[in-house]
Structure 1
Amino acid sequence: MAAPRVAECLVNGVQTRAVSVSDRGLAYGDGLFETILVRHGKATLADLHFQRLARGAQILRLPVDLSLVRSEVEQQAIRLGDGLLKLTVTRGESLRGYAMPQQPQVTRILQSSALLGYPPQYAEQGIRLYSCATRLGDQPMFAGLKHLNRLEQVLARSEWQDSIHAEGLVRDLAGNPIECTMSNLFIRLDDRWVTPALDRCGVRGVMRDFLIEQLAAQGDAVEQRSITFDELLRSNEVFCCNSVFGVWPVVALEDRQWSVGVHTRTIQTLAKQVLN
């Protein structure tokens, strides 16, 4: 199975790296994206990725041909073998102004790249979180979506440049933990798992959904609710997760330190079953 060049790109099914300057994805962030891990020629967690894409398309009123997009992803996954696919869909080109075109022609962008080389010690020994000053604004309509406006995450990630911190904690305007810059957050509190509710801001991650489903099936239901910074600090175990790296135990945040707990190790096993 021959892998394509790194960063091969298809735009509307054609090999090119060119997108119109009139595209609304560029002009307004008018679109959605998914970053999909490919293993052994298959898109991992594909159903959850496309369910999220469908939810986002419905809310944004994007007329995405989901069958076509999924077919393109599956075909490119076979070509790639192992790596990453970044799928971006925008509302396509339009004249100046915010008004949506009456008959939008959706732009489909599919980029292939090699696997990211995260240090194995992140999963084995755990990571230190940076406490970001950048806050997430409230916008319930877009809460949970993987839309193209990622400026909050860009600014949050720019706050540290050292190699000590592998991820950053991001909070809402009230100071409550919501997620990390590229992953979701779980805490073990009072002998149960809790993850921040994402009804006002934040991204509803595919790995987050998968773990919630798996844990519920095992009788260890995850509570989704607002959590305070104090609750995070007094929790027994903490981890962050996404659909590319799986699960990273959190062992430090500011002056607080945790051990990698047995419950987190069990969840790492669940994630590895679908990502390896």
Structure 2
Amino acid sequence: MGIVIVNGVSGASCSPRDRGLQFGDGLFETMLGVGGGVVELGRHWRRLQDGCRRLGIHCPVTQEEVLTALRAAELPRAVVKLIVTRGDSGRGYRCPPALVAHWVLFIDQAPEYPQAAREGGVAVTVCRTRVPIEDEAIAGIKHLNRLPQVMARREWNDEYHDGLLMDPDGRVVEGCANNLFVVTGGVLKTPDLSRSGVHGVMRERVLEHAKANGIPTRVCVLDRDDLSKAEEVFLTNAIYGITPVGSIESHRYSANTLTARLVASLCRGTHC
């Protein structure tokens, strides 16, 4: 059984007037806890603070409050999900002045790294559900409005590890729960997220590491043809780190040279 903390109180409940519940007016971070600490906490916190700034929310929680709760949970590996909302209000979208932001923290046992990822790569599908092109004010942040991901996730059961999402123009954006990378001709590519998608912490780490080690990288527009032309494909998120992809529907990938290098450099001892 996991731990739930609301505004610093273990086992408390949220108000039905919370704007996160009413309108999805808030943000969240999903982090990996290892040995009482959070992997890449600084990056997660910078993204949370940036999202709060862009939404005009005063962040109501500190890193130390999160770490104190994580240490109390005494889990060797944990999924740490932090939600920040604008607070309570009545009906209507207007934000009353002087709202007090709320925070909710979930701490649960982390899942095991997928066995399929160790045995040639996970299976992935392409979803029919499209993600919208977002206003630049919210593009890239991890806001609470996740209905496209919810609807996309209903398209498969357990036969796939994740589903890839495209925007209305047919551009590949990301997975439901992961960012996407492909390797073509020795070049590491990942979708441009200026219009849709989440700027993932692990995505940022992979790009920085690749550039620092002389691996050619491109942040660019990708479509379904680019998936077929790729020699390697992998997914990234904060919980699993790097997950090699063995197939996207009927198309199979056998190479994983660069993917394996990145896993060895970035994930050993924390994720996989």
Superposition TM-score, scaled by structure 2 size: 0.94
Is 1:126–1:260's contact at 8 Å kept on the other side of the alignment? no
Is 1:44–1:274's contact at 8 Å kept on the other side of the alignment? no
Report the CA distance between 1:78 and its aligned residue: 1.8
- 4+ residue segments displaced more than 4 Å: none
Counterpart check, 1:70 vs 2:63: yes
The one-letter code of the counterpart of 2:138 is: F
Task: After superposing the two structures, state which structure 1 stretch, 115-124 or 28-37, moved more.
Answer: 115-124
Task: Name which of 165, 175, 179 aligns with 1:170.
Answer: 165
1:1-276 aligned within 5 A? 6-65=1-60, 68-80=61-73, 81=75, 82-139=77-134, 140-161=136-157, 163-273=158-268, 275-276=270-271
Is 2:231–2:255's contact at 8 Å kept on the other side of the alignment? no
Instruction: Determine the C-alpha separation between the residues in 2 that align with 1:199 and 1:274.
Output: 32
Seen in structure 2, the aligned counterparts of structure 1 residues 98 and 150 have a Cα distance that, compared at 3 Å, is: same
% of aligned pairs identical? 34
Q: Determine helix, strand or coil for the equivalent of 1:265.
A: helix
Instruction: Determine the C-alpha separation between the residues in 2 that align with 1:84 and 1:167.
Output: 18
The one-letter code of the counterpart of 1:127 is: V
In the alignment of these two chains, the number of paired residues is 268
- Say what the alpha-carbon RMSD is for the aligned residues: 1.5
The one-letter code of the counterpart of 2:111 is: L
The one-letter code of the counterpart of 1:72 is: E
Is 2:173–2:197's contact at 8 Å kept on the other side of the alignment? yes
Report the CA distance between 1:7 and its aligned residue: 1.9
Instruction: Determine the C-alpha separation between the residues in 1 that align with 2:94 and 2:216.
Output: 43
Instruction: Determine the C-alpha separation between the residues in 2 that align with 1:183 and 1:52.
Output: 16
Report the CA distance between 1:210 and its aligned residue: 1.0
Is 2:186–2:216's contact at 8 Å kept on the other side of the alignment? no
Report the CA distance between 1:214 and its aligned residue: 1.2
Instruction: Determine the C-alpha separation between the residues in 2 that align with 1:246 and 1:124.
Output: 16
Instruction: Determine the C-alpha separation between the residues in 2 that align with 1:46 and 1:221.
Output: 27
Instruction: Determine the C-alpha separation between the residues in 1 that align with 2:154 and 2:122.
Output: 18
Is 1:244–1:275's contact at 8 Å kept on the other side of the alignment? no
Instruction: Determine the C-alpha separation between the residues in 2 that align with 1:34 and 1:274.
Output: 22
The one-letter code of the counterpart of 2:87 is: G
Is 1:9–1:16's contact at 8 Å kept on the other side of the alignment? yes
